[in-house]
Amino acid sequence: MTVHEQKKLLRRELIARRSQLDAAERKAADEIIYRKLLSLKKVQNASAVLCYVSAHSEVDTRRFIENCLELKKTVAAPKCLDGQSMVFKVIDSLSDLESGMYGIDEPKAYCRDISRERFCGSVLIVPGLSFDKDGYRLGYGKGYYDRFISRYDGYCIGLCRKDFLTDSVLRDEYDMPVSLVITD
């Protein structure tokens, strides 16, 4: 079985396992992750935050996004363009989002792209089904974040509940690690 096939099977298993988590336990874990994320100096000092918008049973980021907006940080959320690439667009509130590709909330058409100059001193908050101790992740299999991270020069943070942290995830030459993984 190829690495690609192994990853595909593991994704199904992890999505099923994550969706079966107790809502109260998920909320408690997400609260711990939220507080740890806010306490990071890299986040506190960031002029811009590029953050995924949580969907389904992912680690919740909506409260974090609202907090960053209240602190007057530039906040940008991802928008998938063509099935291959994504850009981050600046949002001023969660109402700037609408259901997009894959049923995930994305910035509305009027939101402007964040400039590459804003990446300096920024942090990127990355989703994943699982992360390992070296910062590698098992994502959803489309490669959006790996392609983005490969050309991003800011600080990358993965969010992961501790039950989905592993010693090592399957990886190939395209997989890119994050700088830090935060768990509950």
**CATH number assigned to the domain comprising residue 93:** 3.40.50.10420
Q: Which residues, other chains included, contact 36 with Cβ-Cβ below 8 Å and sequence gap of 6+?
A: 182
Q: How many domains does the chain have?
A: 1
CA distances (Å), origin 37, targets 7, 71, 159: 28, 14, 9
Which pLDDT does position 85 carry in this prediction? 86
Which pLDDT does position 31 carry in this prediction? 97
Query: Does the structure show a pLDDT above 80 at 83?
Result: no
How much of the chain exceeds pLDDT 70, in percent? 100
Which pLDDT does position 118 carry in this prediction? 86
Would you state the structure tokens that stand for residue 151, as one six-digit string?
């050309």
Host domain of residue 169: 3-182
Q: Is the pTM of this model over 0.85?
A: yes
Which pLDDT does position 54 carry in this prediction? 97
Q: Which residues, other chains included, contact 62 with Cβ-Cβ below 8 Å and sequence gap of 6+?
A: 53, 54, 94
Would you state the structure tokens that stand for residue 6, as one six-digit string?
């192994």
